Amino acid sequence: MLVHWVDVFAERSFQGNPLAVVMADDVPLDTNAMQAIAQEFNLSETTFVIGLSDGRAQVRIFTPSTELPFAGHPVLGTAWVLLQRILKGARNQITLQLAAGDVAVELEEESGVLWLQSPSPLLQEGLNPTTAAELLNLSEQDLLSTEYPIQRADIGPCFQIIAVSDRQALARCRVNAAAYEAYLADKQTVDGLFVFTTDSHSADADFAARMFFSADGVREDPATGSANCCFAAYLQSLYNGPFTAQVDQGVEMGRASRIHIEVGDDNIRVGGRVQPVFQGTLTTLPDHGKPVTGE
């Protein structure tokens, strides 16, 4: 069973967010087996292609601990593998059939950027500034909650979108694990903390961001497509007219990522580049060491 390892939202290899793409379209895997494989890889997400025909692919997405209905960097990374490695450039568009619905992805061949058509997130009132500051181990003065109100966004995964004053405040973010776990215990869904500033890391970017989430403890994500889909909708609610923006994420982790945002009058696209790292063969299934068949 072929496995492709790629870096997503990466301008070069060993940056961005790693992803494993398992080609399981000819090997029957149940949910438990997929979850066990994702846990073994221990990446933020692993995808499984379980069907492919006529420019459409059935895909399931797993973190090390649970299945997700939608996530952005797995969508882009999986689409790149299918378009470039499986279909070998025969087409530049593909639709991924996810638990959350169909998501179209287009490869812009000249720039090498893949664009996903974002689902529509639900924006709601977010955390109060006092709680947000406590969760991030910041002071309320570090937040820009008047200019950029804190909002909760639900796109399958859920995020609290929190603005801070500058890169120094962004760098000081240290999630209070006890407060975060207590907060999550009161929720039916797990909210990631998407923290941003207009004080960008590079001259050609508009925002710098970090994203913290819980998966067997507090973790940080180097590039989060679903959170940036929500961020684009958040910005759309604040700004008038179409716009584009560039977001740097993962810099503090040493995994610099570049996320492209494109907002139209009635649609949102999020994009980035994908870099191949390696491919290999999964030879054993997680069911008592059963060997893989159908390779």
Q: Which residues are catalytic?
A: 45
Structural element, H or E, at residue 177: helix 177-185
Collapsed DSSP state (helix, strand, coil) of residue 51: strand
Distance CA 171, CA 238 (A): 25
Q: Can you name the residues that pair with 58 across neighbouring β-strands? A: 51, 97
Distance CA 203, CA 199 (A): 10
**CA count, 13 A, side-chain hemisphere, 25:** 12
**CA count, 13 A, side-chain hemisphere, 203:** 0
Distance CA 270, CA 244 (A): 10
Residue indicated by tokens 């492919």: 52
